[in-house]
Amino acid sequence: TGEFAWNLATRPLAEQMNQSCAMVPPEVNEFELSGLTPVASKVIQVPRVAESPVSFECKVTQIIQLQRADGNVVPSWLILGEVVAVHIAKWLLKDGVYDTAAAKPILRGGGPADYFQLGPEALFKMFRPGAVK
């Protein structure tokens, strides 16, 4: 369709997110499979995940088939998109700034099943050289 929604995977949604990555035929509805709720997007035609506290509506800009160092292609693709709309739950905004840790995002960590949850204890500040503090 040339459009996609990116939805933040969070600890409360981890099990449902995991169900959505099952190897299933294209006719299987991943919303039904995972038990997540589709909600209409504002700019794009594809739905986003209602339960996710952060979603980006995106339009595809590039689709790149990945390749090995020897130049042979592999059956994997990198899909890049332009963000055309952003949805952030109001409770995640502190003085107008997105509070990443409050969303309890999870990250893929390697191994066959390793994930990590980002929390406030992981926060540290590092200003860019020459930036106003």
Domains of the chain, CATH where assigned: 3-122 (2.30.110.10)
Position 106 scores a pLDDT of 96
Position 15 scores a pLDDT of 96
pLDDT digit string, tens, across residues 35-68:
999 999 999 999 999 999 999 999 999 999 999 9
Q: Which residues on adjacent β-strands are paired with residue 95?
A: none
What's at 101, amino acid-wise? Answer: A
Stretches where the chain sits below pLDDT 50 are none
Token pair of 128 as six digits: 């860019």
Position 111 scores a pLDDT of 86
Distances (CA, A) of 57 to 20, 42, 84, 109: 18, 8, 6, 25
Type and span of the H or E element at 117: strand 114-117
